[in-house]
Structure 1
Amino acid sequence: MTLIELTVVLGMLLGSLTGAVWGFVSGGIGWAVMGLAGGIVLGPIALALLFILMVLVTEGPLILLRALRGRRPPEHP
């Protein structure tokens, strides 16, 4: 299983569970079913965007600093 498949499966699980609970609390069984369906569709998208944001926050500054520093000249023996 690759990271993409894991992200989709976890997103579906977390999104559907959250949607079903919020739907049931707010209006009953019909809203719980709609929350479950919405969580299956939107959960993986939200989790993937969260992962992308996390990578940008943690790795983005390092990439920017490497680009600003430039390349080092080759060392001569």
Structure 2
Amino acid sequence: MNYYVDVIKRYADFNGRSRRQEYWMFVLCTIPVVIVLTVIDFALGSYPVITWIYTLAVFPSDPPGAAADRTRSTAAPSSFVRR
């Protein structure tokens, strides 16, 4: 459970990298939560409102330019990013 909470606490921290274990533990904790929320949505007849709210809260979109920053930091050349 610590892996899940740590990821939520550090989702906007772009310094460093997460370990592979942190990523997969977060994914393995998220899947059952989404399944339970989907069942609740179907039971309430509100599908997919609750699931969407959870998804938007847990997986926020990247800030503008974050994808370009990541592309620039790789060694592979990119034709769509200006330098």
Same fold? TM cut 0.5: no
TM-score, normalised via structure 2 length: 0.36
Higher helix share: 1
Provide TM-score, normalisation by structure 1.
0.38
